[in-house]
Amino acid sequence: MGDKTSTHPGAAGRAVAADRPGSIRNVVLVGHSGSGKTTLVEALALATGAVNRAGRVEDGGCASDYDEIEHRQQRSVQLSLIPVEWGGIKINLLDTPGYADFVGELRAGLRAADAALFIVSAADGVDGATRMVWDECAAVNMPRALVVTHLEAARADFEEMTEVCRRTLGGDSPDSVLPLYLPLHGPEGPDGHASVTGLIGLLSQRVFDYSTGVRTDEPPDAAHLPRIEEARNRLIEGIIAESEDETLMDRYLSGAELDVKTLVEDLERAVARGRFHPVLAAAPAAEGARQGLGTVELLELITGGFPTPLEREAPAVAHPGGARRPPLACDPAGPLAAEVVKTSSDPYVGRISLVRVFSGTLRPDETVHVSGHGLQDRGHEDHDVDERVGALSSPFGKVQRTVPEAIAGDLACVAKLGRAETGDTLSAKDDPLLMEPWVMPDPLLPVAIEAHSKADEDKLSQGLGRLVAEDPTMRLEQNPDTHQVVLWCLGEAHMDVALERLRTRYGVQVDTVPHKVSLRETFGSKAAGRGRHVKQSGGHGQYAICEIEVEPLPPGSGIEFVDKVVGGAVPRQFIPSVEKGVRAQAARGLAAGYPLVDVRVTLLDGKAHSVDSSDAAFQTAGALALREAAADARIHLLEPVAEVRVLVSDEFVGAVMSDLSGRRGRVVGTEQSGAERTLVRAEIPEIEIGRYAVDLRSLSHGTGRFSRSYARHEPMPAQLSDRIREQAENGR
């Protein structure tokens, strides 16, 4: 691991390959935006020989050739896979976006990985979002390590940042988060800041100097020994506390010298089990240098301490019909079970699916079964089909290297799976399987869109379908009440990327319009109306008269139609016509064009003509009667009210409750939910929370989450109701 002095050769200028699961490591990089994840990936690619100093690979591609939108926005917006090799081990590095809007890409990376590297900037520290992801990994016992970056920043302090990580991430076991190395500082510069030139290995008590651009190994100066001793003793005690060898503690307490090999082996086992989380430091290579600070130590940690796919349990599987299957083993000869963790589109190749193979071996040109969970509420249809696998490749930026197969434990890109979407399972066609889905965040920011032109309108449906297929965190809604096409996103940045992809990838230009909520109308009091439809203009005329009474009903009652006609004033065959006309007018609305609900309409009387009465005439009379009743009554506008559950750190509870009150919300309760977190339950009009996904993030510094569900419709305040009526009248 980290205190090994040998330097393993990389895979300079050639594609990496793995012939067995034990020679693979799948590692996801996690950290807030700007923490240095992508820079670290590029430094590791350089150190392993996967790229040259210009960041270019043998095929001519560039390590940083990612999505064009990423270049324009200067931030990662999607999951990227960079495979490298170190000491005969293939390392699949999964670089994830740090911005909260792209948490779906992060969760996909967590699903595909067997261990996580948390990247922490010495300049910014540990933010709330990073703490939440750390807790999620802890809940499933995913092995984790931390890498401190930006050590060159003014006032950056590695030891201080390590202490912050211990307090905020160590939980009940702060000594499970400890450094393996201490930084070695060079002379102070003009600004008084001393750059980090090397690392001091605490277990080996050796200095690894990077000042010349090539890592060298030398003994420490005498001045370093007191600093090493205190940190080393603390590290050894932390390793022993998590050791499976119960005799180590007794030997240590008795004063026996523990050899470095034993300590490293115990450390590696503790890391692989998710019990110990080492802290390392890293920095990109200086100009002309091949190895960046800490890259060798980090690669040795990954290859020696992180688990192989054989050591991690695969997701639960079932038959598409629902019957459970025994747990899968990571066996290349086992039944095929792979999962699509990312879907993207290439203008030349078409749809490309990044898959993680959990069992069996995936080969090109074979037919596989594609099973999907549906997610119909997000615009994803359920499917259960056979598809032919296209070419398999291993990506590096925009370069795709062809590979002959993908074995259990590995990741690969599959071309031309036309029906497969993110989250789908690939399995043998004669033994179909369905993997348990991973948790995806709910998109809670509505964005109403319209085609910019007639040409865009013709392509809109197909473009939206392909967009949603790529991103399961996005939900597509065709609202039947407002007749709007609504994209539900995770935030404004998510929205911007979605609209940009619609324009650049699928050639669809759209305009955003104000999002409408589904309002309703109802009667505030009992009212009567008379509908008279009499026309005679030569030939067959139209004659229908009906009298109705309308009275309000309790919420949720819908529309009731009651027939109380006596003496045949309205012939029996035309009573359904009156009801049809009433219901049609109710659907169109009366005061502001919103559907009428929660009323009882009673047909009391009417008149008919033996020749001129008809179904159409009584439908029209029924609609006129309802409109006349509305003219003499107060029509209430009903707005949808959502039940909102906000999970937030205790320090922001007051601000959140105050904000909810300012949105006409009613807080109905609070309760403690884990350490230093509170769940606030409230009822709030949906018209007030259109942008709450954005506002809560700002209010809680990125740590707050919320969910919403429809509760009921209730009367809108008169002032707001009058304004909406006025807008509706002006729009007619």
* Spans of all domains in the chain: 21-311, 317-435, 446-513, 520-633, 638-731
Average pLDDT for 590-612: 92
Q: Is 291 in contact with 213 (CB distance < 8 Å)?
A: yes
**pLDDT value at position 13?**
36
Taking Cα atoms as reference points, which of 235, 208, 203, 232 lies closest to residue 220?
208
Least confident range of 417-421, 453-457, 628-632, 715-719: 417-421
For the segment 208-232, what is each residue's pLDDT rounded down to a tens digit? 998 887 888 999 888 888 888 989 9
Confidence (pLDDT) at 306: 96
pLDDT digits (tens, 9 = 90+) for 232-274: 999 999 999 888 888 888 888 887 888 889 899 999 999 999 9
What average pLDDT does the segment 326-339 reach?
A: 94
Could you read off the pLDDT of 11-23 as tens digits, one per residue? Answer: 333 445 567 999 9
Q: Which pLDDT tens digit goes with each residue over 73-89?
A: 555 778 899 999 999 99
pLDDT > 70 fraction of the chain, expressed in percent and rounded = 90
Q: How far apart are CA 730 and CA 91, in angstroms?
A: 63
- Matching CATH topology for 317-435 and 638-731? no
Cα-to-chain-centroid distance, residue 257: 49
- Per DSSP, the three-state class of 121 is strand
Q: Each residue of 446-490: pLDDT tens digit?
A: 999 999 999 999 899 988 988 888 888 889 999 888 889 999 999
Statement: residue 2 has pLDDT above 50? no
Maximum mean pLDDT: which of 121-125, 287-291, 503-507, 595-599: 595-599
Tell me the pLDDT tens digit for each residue of 277-313.
Answer: 999 999 887 766 678 899 999 999 999 999 999 999 9
Of 127, 180, 124, 178, the closest CA to residue 153 belongs to 124
Does the pLDDT value for residue 686 go beyond 80? yes
What are the Cα distances from residue 395, in Å, to 10, 56, 84? 17, 14, 11
In angstroms, the CA 517 to CA 529 distance is: 30
- The hierarchical CATH code for the domain 317-435 is 2.40.30.10
* Structure confidence at residue 713 (pLDDT): 93
Report the mean per-residue pLDDT for the chain. Answer: 87
Q: Chain centroid to CA 716: how far?
A: 34
8 pLDDT more than 80: no
Q: Is the pLDDT of residue 104 over 80?
A: yes
Nearest 5°: the CA angle 144, 145, 148 is 145
pLDDT at 565 over 70: yes
Cα–Cα distance, 343 to 466 (Å, whole number): 10
Q: Specify the pLDDT at position 358.
A: 97
Kind of pairing, strands 527-535 and 542-552? antiparallel
How confident is the model over 1-26, as a mean pLDDT? 60
The secondary structure of residue 378, as a DSSP letter, is G
Listed residue (614, 541, 626) closest to 579, CA to CA? 626
Taking the CA of residue 94 as centre, how many other CA atoms within 13 Å lie in the half-sphere pointing to its CB? 27
Indicate if the pLDDT at residue 5 is higher than 50. no
Angstrom distance (rounded) from CA 321 to CA 317 = 11
pLDDT reported for residue 10: 40
What CATH code would you report for 520-633? 3.30.230.10
Give the Cα separation of 346 and 414 in Å (integer): 12
What average pLDDT does the segment 526-539 reach? 87
- Taking the C-alpha atoms of residue 20 and residue 194, their distance in angstroms, rounded to an integer, is 45
Give the mean pLDDT of 112-136. Answer: 90
Q: Which fold has domain 446-513?
A: Alpha-Beta Plaits (3.30.70)
Q: What is the CATH number of domain 638-731?
A: 3.30.70.240
Q: Which residue has the tokens 């909406």?
A: 724
Read out DSSP for 447-516?
EEEEESSHHHHHHHHHHHHHHHHH-TT-EEEE-TTT--EEEEESSHHHHHHHHHHHHHTT---EEEE---
- Candidate CATH numbers 3.40.50.620, 3.30.70.260, 3.40.50.1820, 3.40.50.300; the one for domain 21-311: 3.40.50.300
Instruction: Output the DSSP codes for 561-591.
Output: EEE---TTSS-GGGHHHHHHHHHHHHHH-SS
397 or 37, higher pLDDT = 37
- DSSP code at position 404: S
Q: How sure is the predictor about 145, in pLDDT bands with cuts at 50, 70 and 90?
A: very high
